[in-house]
Amino acid sequence: MQFNNFNSADFLRDHWQKKPLLIRNPWKKWHNPLSPDELAGLACEDHVESRLITQTSDDWNAEQGPLPETRFGELDKSPWTLLVQAVDQHVPDVATLIEPFRFIPNWRIDDVMVSYASDAGGVGPHFDHYDVFLVQGLGQRRWQVGGMCNDQTPLRSHDDLLLLADFEIVDEWVLNPGDMLYIPPGIAHNGVAVGTDCMTYSIGCRSPSRKELIGSWCDDLLPHMTDDDRYCDPDLAAQSNPGEISANAIDRLHAMVTEKLADRDEFARWFGQFSSTPRYPETDWRPEEPIEIGHLRELLTAGHPLLRNPASRFSFIRESDDRLLLFVDGDCFPCEGERIALAELLCAQNQIVVDADRIKSDGAVSLLAELYNRGGLSFDWG
Ligand code: SIN
Ligand code: CO
């Protein structure tokens, strides 16, 4: 899937993280990559995250998947929506939907959620904490957008859905297949199906909260710290009031914390691993049989392209001109020499044909074999 009529530089300058944008069919040739039946099938599978939202006159009810196959036959005429997360990890044609958005760094992209709604179905007015591109796949949906929300914005009391108590419509459009709406984080929005067979693809981004960054990094640091690294004050001077925690003590205590947290190199390495950790780490994508380097060389020499696992997250951090750290699925692979250009290529393209010089290089092929045997690369993702 490719864009025909979309300027990413203009988009980043004028809209990204700033204001919504409706783009009428920007694709070279839009085709809906998944059928409603295939989506319903995914919602019945154990390892797939899904939700069914059913509506009564003015309320929404959420059921978590996996759904029993019989559930769809029980649905009555009231509007409903089926939402399936990370469909890109299971359907390669849906994964290709992400490719035109690669002007956004890999680590900022989360997944493609796909929704199917019956006539008048929707999840209700809400806001998300992340940027989202809503692509209309099939049928029509009316999107309404409102103002900026935050954690103080009043919500309806609801267990599972973060629905807005008040929603003031600022703009609205009906989207047809191929049309796309970009919504920045925090902007209220509401999508309602117009007619049956309404499918929407949400290419969702990620942006860590400060709370998540500090909490997760500290969790990672703690096991490496020792009990003998302690506050000490051999220069302690007598205090006039023993109750005072002196400014000098606070300075030293605060420095004990901030010195550790200020280690940028350590942070970078941690963040590469943290941000490349798969969304569903429990899923084992390893091949049944590990590949031998010799066999891998043969397949590469025959010109077979290597494909990135759509569920894998690939990023790198450049440490210097002659060293970078490649991160794949929460693991760090320090790369030097010929591995550097290979790591860059793997991060830039979801499919690579390895050239003859690289196939001769032990460093390059052993890296590919390691990634293959961990389930990050394959010759075929079905
Ligand atoms: C939907 O596809 O129905 C909901 C997507 C969203 O509002 O983020
Ligand atoms: Co939303």
CATH number for the domain spanning 147: value is 2.60.120.650
Q: Are residues 172 and 304 in the same domain?
A: no
Examine residue 231 and state whether it is found in any structural domain, yes or no: no
Judge whether 242 lies within some domain: no
Stretch 350-379: mean pLDDT: 95
Give percent of the chain above pLDDT 70: 99
pLDDT at residue 122 above 80? yes
**Looking at the predicted structure, is the pLDDT value of residue 276 above 90?**
yes
- 191 and 300 both lie in a single domain: no
Confirm whether 275 is domain-assigned: no
Of 161 and 276, which is predicted with more confidence? Answer: 276
302 and 189, same structural domain?
no
Residues 16 and 133 in one domain: yes
Structural domain includes residue 139:
yes
Mean pLDDT of 86-111: 97
Q: Could you tell me if residue 278 is inside a domain? A: no
Measured from the alpha carbon of residue 133, the closest ligand is: 1
Q: What 3-state class would DSSP assign to 12?
A: helix
| Residues 86, 113 contacting (CB under 8 angstroms) | yes
Lowest model confidence (mean pLDDT) among 58-67, 140-149, 274-283: 58-67
Question: Is the shortest distance between the CB of 128 and ligand 1 below 6 Å?
Answer: yes
Distance from Cα 168 to the centre of ligand 1, integer Å: 18
Pair (171, 312) in one structural domain:
no
Under the banding of pLDDT at 50, 70 and 90, the label for residue 57 is confident
**CA of 129, nearest ligand number:** 2
Residue 214, in any domain of the structure: no
Q: What is the pLDDT of residue 76?
A: 86
Do 190 and 298 have their domain in common? Answer: no
Q: State residue 30's pLDDT score.
A: 95
Question: Cα angle at 93 between 88 and 95, to 5 degrees?
Answer: 30
Tally of domains within the chain: 2
Residue-level pLDDT at 159: 60
Task: Say if residue 182 is in the same domain as residue 297.
Answer: no
Of 154, 184, 205, which residue is a domain's last? 205
Nearest ligand, CA 198:
1
User: Does pTM top 0.85 for this prediction?
Assistant: yes
Clarify whether residues 189 and 46 are in a common domain.
yes
If asked whether residues 34 and 165 sit together in one domain, one would say yes
Q: How far, in Å, from the CA of 72 to the mean position of ligand 2?
A: 23
Domain-located, residue 224: no
Buried b (16+ CB within 10 A) or exposed e, 75-109: eeeebbbbbbbbbbbbbeebbbbbebbeebebbeb
Per-residue pLDDT at 58: 77
* 115 CB within 6 A, ligand 1: yes
Mutate which of 113, 130, 138, 144 for ligand 1 pocket (most atoms within 8 A of beta carbon): 113
Q: Which of 170, 205, 240 is the last residue of a domain?
A: 205
Residue 366 lies in a domain: yes
Assign residue 360 the CATH number of its domain: 3.40.366.30
Report the percent of the chain where pLDDT is more than 90. Answer: 93
Does residue 382 register a pLDDT over 70?
Answer: no
| Closest-lying ligand 1 atom to the alpha carbon of residue 128 | 8
Is the CB of 202 within 6 Å of ligand 1?
yes
**Shortest-distance Cα residue to atom 5 of ligand 1:** 202
- Are both 20 and 167 inside the same structural domain? yes
181 shares its domain with 319:
no
Give the tokens for residue 108.
């900022």
The label of the residue with tokens 């500090």 reads 214
Q: Which run of H or of E encompasses 363?
A: helix 362-373
- The domain boundary residue, chosen from 183, 205, 227: 205
**Checking DSSP bridges between strand 187-205 and strand 109-117, what pairing results, if any?**
antiparallel
Instruction: Note whether 194 and 306 are same-domain residues.
Output: no
Q: Given ligand 1 and candidates 50, 83, 144, which is best to mutate, with the most ligand atoms within 8 Å of its CB?
A: 83
Instruction: Kindly state the DSSP code that residue 67 receives in the 8-state scheme.
Output: P
Report pLDDT for 380. 87
Domain, as residue range, for 311: 293-378
**Average pLDDT in the chain:** 95
